[in-house]
Amino acid sequence: MLKKECEERMLELKEYRGHIRNWKVLCEELKLDASLPREEREKAILLAAYEKWGEKMADHFYGMFAFAIWDSDKEELFACRDQFGTKPFYYYMTKDGTLLCGTYIRQIMEQEGFEKELNEDMLQLYLTLTYVAGEDTFFQGVKKLMPGRYLKWKKGAEPEIVRYWTPTFHPENDKSLEAFADEINQTMDVIMKEVKEDSETAESFLSGGVDSSYVLAISDAQTADTVGYDDARFDESPLAAETAKLLGRTLNRCRITPEEYFEIVPWVMKNMEQPLGDASAIAFSIGCKATAEHTKLCYSGEGSDEFFGGYNMYRNAERYGDNLKTFYVGNTNIMKEEEKKALLKNYKEGVLPIDLVKDIYEEIEDYDPLTKMSDIDIQIWLEGDIYLNVDKMSTASGLEIRMPLTDLRVFNIASRIPSKYKVNEEQNKVAFRTAAARFLPEEVAFRKKLGFIVPIRHWMADDNYNAPVKEAIFSETAAQFFNMEEVEKIWNEYKGGNSDLWRKIWTIYTFLVWYGQYFA
């Protein structure tokens, strides 16, 4: 049936990954058979939506998606990525003017006309950010279709990139904190009815924080999954166990050892397709593998921090003021330019992280400092680090993750919440925590944010575990990119007791491991 419809309309779905939440409404509006299996149903929705709404089709969707449709009538490719970039989409122009595209870089690499070449400029940015931000990638010529954008391409022409959605903020100062909390909960009630079908069974990731605790509390998941360590200083699993018990859910705990952590790094970097210096990504991958052993569907709580003001540094926003546009490029800032000049053999003047966000600062110049920080993180950090990690590690593990808090309807609430209801002197994510407190004990809803802690700063200093790191950072490959006396200086200072340097070493190491997977 679907094949016949495609032939009649001269449309072909070339690529698709995602989950469309409001499929029931769409099936009714598009006059489609809602009883179709999910894969057929979502393909039918995409093709019918393109036929009805064309380039505006994404305005009608809630969910996670990246797709490409070939329109034979127009002889045109139309590709689109969701508003927040939860699913990746890449494209590459060959020398003969052919567009290669896919939701994996490896798909592009396998196609005729692709020429593999390192984009070394990205290393200079990566050493500051620890992730690949913006539209360029480490593969020369391979670009990301950025969130909230669609691409149109005809043979013989350059691809046209159009932005169909931009995050905007309009605070409603006359609305109460309690009213916003009510709206959050009412909206989440709708979303949780859409995020899973009745025939599906889901579990839910659970840390010690409010986001995952709230998602578990309002979901029908009877089992939660967490990771933990033998070192109690970094182990949040007792907090997760306490929350699961309070909510009457069972808990699976995956114990992560340093041996397992270091052993899986090459697998992570290969499946990530881009280097990622977020140490929590390795722990997350181990958690995904363990969870996939007993379920194929899991909830996770990403998006809330960026939407609702969850990071502790947001509380310094007013102090930063107008200076933000001179330095704030997102959630991480590991190396300064002077450090990189000393470290890199091929440092280029003018390749600066701040240039990635200059256009964003121009469009948000009228926002207050907290909103500016949040906007930058939504547009750059979420796509480049958080969602990349969730997508790549879950799919590589055979696990599907759905993120109920990452939803345009949730953002639309957050965009109207004044900054005073996001952070104050005592607390962050105030409105969200107030909403969560309707379902969670106060001590859980207002628990201090810990983050996804990994004991890597201690493990990497331990000679029982750090052999892979030392081998990589002092290798001949490392010498191609780095001044080895500077590498040795950083390593010796770290080993000498300056544990704060672990991030710099880890960022260098993850690049080298990734390079070994794709260019060695």
List, for residues 254-263, the tens digit of each pLDDT value: 999 999 999 9
Confidence at 302, pLDDT banded by 50, 70, 90: very high
**350 part of a folded domain:** no
Residue 384 has pLDDT above 70, yes or no: yes
Confidence at 404, pLDDT banded by 50, 70, 90: very high
**120 part of a folded domain:** yes
Residue 450: the pLDDT is: 66
Q: Are residues 39 and 140 in the same domain?
A: yes
Q: How many CB atoms lie within 10 A of CB 189?
A: 10
Residue 353 has pLDDT above 50, yes or no: yes
Q: Are residues 159 and 254 in the same domain?
A: no
List, for residues 448-474, the tens digit of each pLDDT value: 866 657 899 999 999 999 999 999 999
Confidence at 7, pLDDT banded by 50, 70, 90: low
Look at the chain and report how many structural domains it folds into. 3
**351 part of a folded domain:** no
Q: Are residues 199 and 76 in the same domain?
A: no
Q: Are residues 124 and 270 in the same domain?
A: no
Confidence at 8, pLDDT banded by 50, 70, 90: low
**119 part of a folded domain:** yes
Q: Are residues 120 and 198 in the same domain?
A: no
Q: Are residues 72 and 131 in the same domain?
A: yes
Residue 296: the pLDDT is: 97
| Residue 473 token pair | 């950072």
Residue 380 has pLDDT above 90, yes or no: yes
Q: How many CB atoms lie within 10 A of CB 283?
A: 24
Residue 426: the pLDDT is: 87
Residue 234: the pLDDT is: 85
Instruction: Please state at what angle helix 502-518 crosses helix 484-495, rounded to 10 degrees.
Output: 130
Residue 281 has pLDDT above 50, yes or no: yes
Domain termination residue (choose one: 400, 415, 443): 443
**346 part of a folded domain:** no
CATH no. for residue 240? 3.40.50.620
Residues 6+ apart with CB under 8 A from 389: 272, 276, 278, 280, 281, 284
List, for residues 28-81, the tens digit of each pLDDT value: 999 999 999 999 999 999 999 999 999 999 999 999 999 999 999 999 999 999
Q: Are residues 240 and 284 in the same domain?
A: yes
Q: Are residues 108 and 210 in the same domain?
A: no
Residue 2: the pLDDT is: 42
List, for residues 107-138, the tens digit of each pLDDT value: 999 999 999 999 999 999 999 999 999 999 99
> What is the span of the domain harbouring residue 116?
2-163
Q: Are residues 64 and 130 in the same domain?
A: yes
Residue 138 burial class via C-beta count within 10 angstroms: exposed 0-12, middle 13-18, buried 19 and up: buried
